[in-house]
Amino acid sequence: MSDAIDDSDTPFQPLHQGSALQTQLQTLIGQELTTLEQGADVVATLWQPAHCPLALLPWLAWSQGIKEWDESWPEAIKRQLVADSYQQHQYLGTRFAITNALAHFDMGAQISEWFEHEPMSEPGTFRVDVYVSHRGIDLPLIKETRKLIDRAKRKSVDYNLHMNLQAKPVVELNSIHCSSSMTTIYPYTH
């Protein structure tokens, strides 16, 4: 005959039958462990650019190898830069890296290397045509563009930068078609 109590319905089963104080301590420790597990989940989200708090985003960017950071950038650009940093580092020194770096700031780029020019340019050089449509071209924009290109290009090559202002016209077309016809039917007479 056993006087054991079946505690299978309770989520926490003590290892032994102890005093009420021991049971209370085990219950509190269980609650603290739950809090620690939730804290671990929060720490895991700190490494995700989409969920990282904005105040900690510069530190996440630094840990991902982003060398240039400006607090005046919009939040969406900051988060996208951090999210794309791994791919950007994979392709550093390529055309893709340059166009991708400029694309984050809504600038298009066309790159041509020295052997693609007519006549051929000096070996080891390339030309970057940057197309800006969201704002005017000024000295701070040119400096920012040069920084972006310098960080993404191969260090052994030189380049010529050509800034182009591109207008994106918005054409709204509307048309209305109205027609009417009147048909009169008369009785058939022979």
Q: pTM value?
A: 0.63
Q: Answer whether 59's CB lies under 8 Å from 52's CB.
A: no
User: Could you tell me whether strands 125-132 and 158-165 are parallel, antiparallel, or unpaired per DSSP bridges?
Assistant: parallel
Q: Between 2.60.40, 3.40.50, 3.30.300, 3.30.70, what CATH number should domain 93-171 receive?
A: 3.30.300
Reply yes or no on whether the pLDDT at 4 is more than 60: no
Report the pLDDT value the prediction gives residue 68, as an integer from 0 to 100.
85
Percent of the chain with pLDDT over 90: 41
Cα(25)–Cα(189) distance, rounded to whole angstroms?
109
Percent of the chain with pLDDT over 70: 78
Residues pairing with 63 in the sheet: none
Give the mean model confidence (pLDDT) for residues 52-63: 89
* pLDDT (tens digit per residue) in 115-153: 998 888 899 999 999 999 888 889 999 999 999 999 999
The confidence band for 179, taking pLDDT boundaries of 50, 70 and 90, is confident
Report the pLDDT value the prediction gives residue 33, as an integer from 0 to 100.
63
In the chain, list all ranges with CATH 3.30.300: 93-171
The angle, 0 to 180 degrees and rounded to 10, between the axes of the packed helices 95-103 and 139-152 is: 140
Report the pLDDT value the prediction gives residue 25, as an integer from 0 to 100.
64
User: Could you tell me whether strands 107-113 and 125-132 are parallel, antiparallel, or unpaired per DSSP bridges?
Assistant: antiparallel
Q: What is the DSSP string of 70-88?
A: -TTS-HHHHHHHHHTHHHH
Reply yes or no on whether the pLDDT at 16 is more than 80: no
Contacts of 93 (CB under 8 A, 6+ apart): 152, 153, 154, 155
Report the pLDDT value the prediction gives residue 132, as an integer from 0 to 100.
93
Cα(39)–Cα(48) distance, rounded to whole angstroms?
15
Q: How many angstroms separate the Cα of 166 from the Cα of each of 126, 127, 140, 172?
A: 21, 18, 18, 19
Q: Answer whether 148's CB lies under 8 Å from 135's CB.
A: no
